[in-house]
Amino acid sequence: MTDVAVKATNLTKTYGEGETEVQALRDASFEIPRGEFVVLQGASGSGKTTLLNQIGALEPPTAGDVEANGFKLNGLDDDGRTEYRLKSVGFIFQFYNLVPSLTAYENVALIAELTGDEVEERTEQVLRSVGLADRMNHFPGQMSGGEQQRVSIARGLVKNPPLMLCDEPTGALDTDTGTQVLSLLREITDQGDRTIVIVTHNTAISTIANRVIDLKDGEIIGTHLNGDPRDPNDVVW
């Protein structure tokens, strides 16, 4: 196992064609070391979600390649990409995307069932770890936004992926709840060698990251390292 969690080479993504063609990502090349907390930062339309989708194999690139967790994503078909996501990636979305007809426990167990035995133990353990021990049997409609996002994090964690990809995880939350969620994500990184990549347009959040990749108009315009990332509880936005 290398120390590089994600390696992108000349990654390009184009949507549409002719007059409607949009180059969402241009020649992006970078490496993310294992166990880092990385922020992809940029204004709206800068290409950060597109880049996250490429790392998560949610859509194929137009050109270039991504290598993650031993998978070369460019050569994968739909089944291969699905297997990669199942084994290697935990997703956290801005709007949680929980199944409303399943309880917190069941939303997590749905994924746990796909990834091994001891479903009950693993599900309960991961829900306890995100602070939802007493909310397991609640449906999403009965939970706050922060609680729903924690279920979403538990859902991503339950398969124990080496890579967690978070798309504006605090975007739909108030400041306090957002801080709690960021603390939780930071804690997850600090506890092991799991890599977390967060997409945000909120520059304050970048101060808690080990590494910040700045994007503008689909291009990586800079990468900088935080020698001393701040505690999420100290961040104000």
Partner 1 sequence: MSILGLKRSRDIRRQKWQFIAVLVTVILGVALFAGMFNAYLNLGSSLTGSYDRLGMADMTVTDADDGFLDTVSRIAGVDNASDRQQADVPFEIGDNSLVGRIIGMPGDTQPDMNQVDVVDGGYLEASDNTGVLVEEHMANDFELEVGDTFDIVGQEVSVVGIAVSPEYLWPAKDRQTVFTPPRTFGVVFVTKPWLDGLEGPSVDHQVLVEYGDGVVVEDVDASVGSAAEAANAADIQTLEDQPSNATINEEIGGLQTMAVALPLLFLAAAGMAIYVVITRLVYSQRGVIGTFRATGFKSKTLSRHYRSYGVGVGLIGAAIGAVLGALMGRGMTAIYIKVFGIPDLVAEFHLPTVLLALTFGGVAGAIAAIPPARIVAAMAPAEAMRGDAPAQGGKRSVFETLIPPLRRAPVRWRMTLRGLGRNKRRSTAMVVGVILSAVMILAAAGSMDTMLAAFDRQFNEVAIEDAQAFFAVPVGDPQIEAVAAATGVMLAEPVVGLKAILRNGDQSYTTLIEGYKSDTQVHGFPNGLPTSGVLVGQAMHDLLGVEVGHRVTIELPDLDVEISELVQGFLDEPMATLAYIEADQLTSAVNSADETITPDVLALPSFTSVKARYEPGAAGSLAVEQIKDVAGVAAVIDATELRSLLQEFQAFFYVFIGMGLVFGSAMAFALIFNIISVNVAERVSEFASMRASGLTHRKVASMITGETFLLTAIGIVPGLVFGYLAAVAFMNSFSSDQFPIVAEVRPWTYGLTVVGLFAVAGLSLIPAIRAIRRINIGEVVRERAV
Please work out, in degrees rounded to the nearest 5, the angle formed at the alpha carbon of residue 94 by the alpha carbons of 160 and 182. 60
Please work out, in degrees rounded to the nearest 5, the angle formed at the alpha carbon of residue 219 by the alpha carbons of 77 and 166. 60
Cβ closer to partner 1: 82 or 175?
82
**Shortest distance, CB of residue 83 to partner 1, whole angstroms?**
8
Q: How many CB atoms lie within 10 A of CB 235?
A: 19
Cβ closer to partner 1: 4 or 172?
172
**Shortest distance, CB of residue 188 to partner 1, whole angstroms?**
17
**Shortest distance, CB of residue 88 to partner 1, whole angstroms?**
9
Contacts of 137 (CB under 8 A, 6+ apart): 103, 104, 105
Cβ closer to partner 1: 58 or 76?
58
Q: Enumerate binding residues for partner 1 (CB under 8 A).
A: 44, 49-50, 53, 56, 58-59, 78-79, 82-83, 85-87, 89-91, 93-95, 97-103, 106, 109-111, 113-115, 139-142, 155-156, 159, 167-168, 171-172, 199
Helices (H), the chain: 48-55, 78-88, 104-112, 119-129, 145-157, 175-191
**Shortest distance, CB of residue 93 to partner 1, whole angstroms?**
6
- Residues 192/199, Cβ–Cβ less than 8 Å: no
Cβ closer to partner 1: 142 or 233?
142
Distinct helix (H) and strand (E) counts, the chain: 6, 10
Cβ closer to partner 1: 4 or 110?
110
**Shortest distance, CB of residue 140 to partner 1, whole angstroms?**
5
Is 190 strand, coil or helix?
helix
